[in-house]
Amino acid sequence: MSNKGFSLLELLVAMTIIALLGTLGFQQYQRYSMSSRHIKAQDDIKIVAEGLDQYYLKYGQYPELPSYESMVASNSPLLKENFIKVGMKNSDPFGQPYQGRATKNTYELKYLGVPDRTNEYSGVTRTPFQVTGNESANGT
C-alpha cells in the first residue's frame, strides 16, 4: 500500500512560493497605487490652473484668491462660472494640502509630491504659461 498525499517538505516549498509571489504582487500593487494617486494630484492642479486661465480669458484678469481652498470653495468664482468641477478636494490623495494663490496678474499652484518619495514622485508648481517639476507618472 502506498502513501498518497504531500510530505511536509513539499507543503513548505509550495507555501514559500505562494508567499513570495504574494509579496511581489503586493509591492507592485503599492507602486501602481502610488503612481495613480500622484497622477490624480497633478490632474487636480491642472484642472484648477485651466479654470484660472479660462477666467482670465473671459475677464482679462485672474480672480483675487488668497488660497487654494478659496479657489475650490463653493462660493469660488471659478466654480460659479463652471470653470472647475464641483467637489474638488483641498488636499492631495496623500493628505497634504494643495497650495495656491491668485492675484489679478498671476497665480501659483503647488502640489508637494509624494511624502518621503519626492525623488521619484516630485511635486509640481504651475504658474501662467509655466509648469515647474516633473509631470510624468513616475517622476522621472
Residue 7: which pLDDT band, with cuts at 50, 70 and 90?
A: confident
Predicted confidence (pLDDT) at residue 110 exceeds the cutoff of 60: yes
Residue 125 near residue 132, CB atoms below 8 Å = yes
For residue 115, give the DSSP letter. T
First and final C-alpha spacing in the chain: 63
Digit-coded pLDDT (tens) for 57-108: 999 999 999 999 999 999 999 999 999 999 999 999 999 999 999 999 999 9
Digit-coded pLDDT (tens) for 24-49: 888 888 888 889 999 999 999 999 99
Residue 107: its pLDDT value, please?
97
Residue 116: its pLDDT value, please?
87
Residue 137: its pLDDT value, please?
46
Q: What is the pTM of this model?
A: 0.78
Residue 30: its pLDDT value, please?
80
Predicted confidence (pLDDT) at residue 5 exceeds the cutoff of 90: no
Residue 2: its pLDDT value, please?
64
Residue 140: its pLDDT value, please?
40
The sign of the CA dihedral 53, 58, 64, 65 is negative
Residue 83 near residue 63, CB atoms below 8 Å = no
User: What are the chain's domains?
Assistant: 37-133 (3.30.700)
Residue 129: its pLDDT value, please?
87
Segment 103-111 long-range contacts (CB within 8 Å, at least 24 positions apart): 103/62, 103/64, 104/61, 104/62, 104/64, 105/61, 105/62, 106/62, 107/49, 107/52, 107/62, 107/65, 109/45, 109/48, 109/49, 109/52, 109/68, 110/45, 111/41, 111/42, 111/44, 111/45
Digit-coded pLDDT (tens) for 120-129: 889 999 999 8
